[in-house]
Amino acid sequence: MMIILLIVQFSSALASGSSANERVIQTPQNLHSQPREEAKIYCSHKIDDYNTILWYRQSDRGLQLLGYVYLKDGYPEAGLDGVKMKGNAEKNQNCTLTVEKANSSAVYFCAASYHSCDSGREAYFGTGTKLTVLEPNRTAIPPTVRVLKPSPNEGGQTRTLVCVATDFYPDHVSVSWTVNGNKRLSGVATDAAATRLDDFYRITSRLTVYVKEWQNRGKDFACVVDFFNGTETVNRIDSIRGVKGRLLFERKYLRIAQNAKLAYCAFIVKSCVYGAFVVFLLWKLQKSRKTEK
């Protein structure tokens, strides 16, 4: 009965999307494994009274509860082979999930909870560990990164720079942008996941900036791609500088020309009105003289 209540509580907490990353510490964030090789994931928490760590595996087939550690005892799900859970689930202690013979890639999550029949407390989840089981005879290859200029046909008040990262394996990457060395968050749109093409992966990201910012040679726009190579996270960077503001100059020139054109038209209209008025006066004068005779 207690196990059923625990699973219901865990499922409810997961559905609520509860998260307190600063209170639940899960490491590593990325992990490579050779086929049938052992992989270990670690989890701890900083929550008073919480005494349970549960483990989940998320794959193409959905989210699966692997089991949990209550105090110092591990309880894998019935009929589940190939994983071990041990450690201490209390505050500031450590729990370990061991995948004994990894055979498929997945994302693993731990969560801290309070094990009690009448507990209504929610679970707090870690950030997840992405485990990739490498294909036979393959090693990690970092990406090639290139930043593309905005399209010359792009109109409006903004310009879009495109970052393309290609030819990497596996897909442990994250993409960010900097402008003059400062991280840029606004105007950034990155693919939700890398796309596989043949034996390698590809991912794109876009940075949208205002024309005024792009047309400034003092601006340096850099795309930073972080890649986990199995041992450490390395980065690959490409950058591009802003261009001379010819378009702004042209627009300013066009505005001046347009204003001059309007002024000239106004001058012509005024001249026509003045000419008509002079003709009218001459006609009146001539008519007046005829009347006198």
What does the pLDDT look like over 162-208, one tens digit per residue? Answer: 999 999 999 999 999 999 999 999 999 999 999 999 999 999 999 99
Instruction: Read off the pLDDT of residues 95-140 as tens digits, 9 standing for 90 and up.
Output: 999 999 999 999 999 999 998 755 678 899 999 999 999 999 999 9
Residue 17 has pLDDT above 50, yes or no: no
**First and final CA of the chain: distance in angstroms?**
128
Residue bearing tokens 């625990």: 6
Sequence-separated (6 or more) residues with CB below 8 Å from residue 24: 43, 44, 45, 46, 47, 110, 111, 112, 124, 125, 126
pLDDT in the model for residue 19: 47
Beta-carbon contacts of residue 286 (< 8 Å; ≥ 6 apart): none
Contact indicator for 14, 7 with CB cutoff of 8 Å: no
Task: Examine the pLDDT at 275 and tell me if it is beyond 70.
Answer: no
Q: What is the mean pLDDT of the chain?
A: 86
pLDDT at 61: 85
Q: What is the fold, at CATH topology level, of the domain defined by 2-133?
A: Immunoglobulin-like (2.60.40)
Q: Place 258 in a pLDDT band, splitting at 50, 70 and 90.
A: confident
Whole-Å CA distances, 121 to 112, 128, 131, 215: 10, 21, 29, 54
pLDDT of residue 22: 81
Alpha helices (H) in the chain, listed in sequence order: 2-16, 211-214, 246-292
Cis peptide before 76 (omega within 30 of 0): no
Length of the chain: 293
Q: Enter the CATH code of domain 151-241.
A: 2.60.40.10
Quote the pTM value.
0.75
User: For 262-284, what is the mean pLDDT?
Assistant: 66
Of residues 64 and 12, the one with the higher pLDDT is: 64
Which has the higher per-residue pLDDT, 204 or 1? Answer: 204
